[in-house]
C-alpha cells in the first residue's frame, strides 16, 4: 500500500530578481518592483510531499521526526533569514521562487532516503506558488 505525506514548513528570505545577462531596462521591464536594488522579502511556505509504502510495524510512510530534522538542517537552516542573492547556488542563476523550488527539490532528493520525494511546492505570496516534481534542470 502506497501513501503520500504532505508536510508544511515556513521560512523567511529576501532576494532581488536581476539577471546579469539583461540590461538595466530589460531587468526593470521583466521583474518590475522585484528588481528593486535593495531587494525585498517573503515569508515562504514550503510543502514537501513524499510517498512510499505504509510500513506495517509503524503505520507510517516515514518518520516525521526524520523528515522534519532533515528539512530543518538542509533547507530551513540554509535559507531562513538569508538574502538569496548571496547564497552560493544563486551565484549564476536568478533567485526566483521557481529556481528556489528546484534547488530545494534537489537538496531533498539527494539526501532524504526514507521515502520517495514526489514534489516540492513553494508559496511565495497568497497569490503565487510554484511546484516542482523533478522534470527540469535548474536555471534552464
* 8-state DSSP, 137: -
Q: Is the pLDDT of residue 9 over 90?
A: yes
pLDDT at 1: 80
Q: What is the pLDDT of residues 86-100, one digit of tens each?
A: 999 999 999 999 999
**Spans of all domains in the chain:** 2-132
Q: How far is the C-alpha of 79 from the C-alpha of 73, rounded, in Å? A: 10
pTM: 0.92
Fold of the 2-132 domain? Tetrahydropterin Synthase; Chain A (3.30.479)
Residue 41 near residue 12 (C-beta atoms within 8 A): yes
Amino acid at each position: 500500500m502506497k501513501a503520500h505525506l504532505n508536510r508544511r514548513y515556513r521560512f523567511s528570505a529576501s532576494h532581488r530578481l536581476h539577471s546579469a545577462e539583461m540590461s538595466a531596462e530589460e531587468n526593470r521591464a521583466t521583474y518590475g518592483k522585484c528588481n528593486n536594488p535593495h531587494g525585498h522579502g517573503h515569508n515562504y511556505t514550503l510543502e514537501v510531499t513524499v510517498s512510499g509504502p505504509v510500513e506495517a510495524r509503524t503505520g507510517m510512510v516515514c518518520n516525521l521526526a526524520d523528515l522534519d530534522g532533515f528539512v530543518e538542517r538542509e533547507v530551513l537552516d540554509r535559507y531562513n533569514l538569508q538574502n538569496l542573492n548571496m547564497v552560493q547556488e544563486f551565484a549564476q542563476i536568478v533567485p526566483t521562487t521557481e529556481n528556489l523550488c528546484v534547488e530545494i527539490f534537489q537538496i531533498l532528493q539527494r539526501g532524504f532516503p526514507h521515502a520517495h520525494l514526489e514534489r516540492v511546492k513553494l508559496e511565495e505570496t497568497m497569490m503565487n506558488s510554484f511546484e516542482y516534481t523533478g522534470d527540469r534542470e535548474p536555471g534552464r
